[in-house]
């Protein structure tokens, strides 16, 4: 690694933000980053405003370059921690973007066994590429985990279809569920 790149890497810091006060202090930057990150995603960002982003989420992993927010992962408390949004600043260099992706890779690889996520499109490709394939959850559990209407299950056993903000999306679930009885409850429901 070149010296200037090593210096850049060392300036990146990842912090966990959980309190309402901490989230409120940085919500303007986080919300702007997420809006840009989801601008081209079918179905878009699932948070209509900053207040909802703060009040409905449990934890944020924020990546800083010095004082600037350059990446973020958002979690809700739902059957453990569910990753519900992530993004990288579109206003950074390609070199810095690669380093932020490395940090996100580290975050996800350390948390696949502790969190879960419902993903599609670019997020799905990224997470599968960095080891998420080992943590794919059967699409048979999509309804009970998401608590949403599932339109249909894909024959691959991984994907399912559901409507998000008026758009039909092909989704999959990756991660580890931290909620006892979730799978036994689903089996009981299936027998009824």
All structural domains of the chain? 3-191 (3.40.630.30)
Percent of the chain predicted with pLDDT > 90: 77
pLDDT at 62 over 50: yes
pLDDT at 128 over 70: yes
Question: How does 81-118 read in b/e, with b if 16+ C-beta sit within 10 Å?
Answer: bbbbbbbbbeebeeebbebbeebbeebbeebbeebbbb
User: What is the reported pTM?
Assistant: 0.87
pLDDT at 49 over 90: yes
Q: Which of 133, 130, 150 is nearest to 141 (CA)?
A: 150
pLDDT score recorded for residue 43: 85
Q: Which of 140, 141, 149, 145 is nearest to 169 (CA)?
A: 149
pLDDT band at 191 (very low <50, low <70, confident <90, very high): very low
The strand pairing partners of 87, in sequence order, are 72
pLDDT score recorded for residue 190: 40
Section 40-60 average pLDDT: 94
pLDDT score recorded for residue 77: 93
pLDDT at 188 over 70: no
Section 66-87 average pLDDT: 94
- Structure token pair of residue 133: 């394939």
pLDDT score recorded for residue 32: 97
Residue 17 in 3-state DSSP? strand
Section 72-96 average pLDDT: 94
Contact yes or no for 104/71 (Cβ under 8 A): yes
Rounded Cα–Cα distance for residues 54 and 132 (Å)? 27
Mean pLDDT of the chain: 90
pLDDT at 192 over 50: no
Section 83-100 average pLDDT: 93
């Amino acid at each position: 690694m070149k010296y200037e790149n090593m210096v850049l890497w060392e300036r990146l810091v990842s912090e966990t933000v959980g309190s309402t006060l901490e989230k409120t202090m940085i919500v303007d930057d986080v919300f702007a980053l997420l809006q840009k990150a989801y601008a081209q995603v079918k179905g878009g960002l699932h948070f209509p405003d900053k207040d909802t982003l703060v009040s409905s989420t449990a934890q944020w992993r924020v990546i800083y370059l010095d004082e600037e927010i350059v990446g973020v992962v958002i979690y809700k408390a739902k059957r453990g921690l569910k990753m519900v949004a992530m993004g990288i600043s579109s206003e950074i260099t390609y070199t810095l973007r690669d380093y932020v992706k490395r940090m996100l890779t580290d975050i996800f690889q350390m948390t696949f066994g502790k969190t879960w996520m419902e993903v599609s499109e670019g997020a799905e490709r990224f997470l599968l590429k960095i080891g998420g394939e080992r943590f794919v959850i059967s699409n048979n559990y999509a309804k009970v985990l998401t608590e949403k209407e599932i339109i249909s299950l894909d024959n691959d056993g991984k994907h399912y279809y559901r409507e998000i903000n008026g758009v039909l999306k092909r989704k999959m679930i990756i991660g580890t569920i931290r909620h006892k009885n979730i799978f036994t409850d689903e089996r009981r429901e299936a027998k009824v």
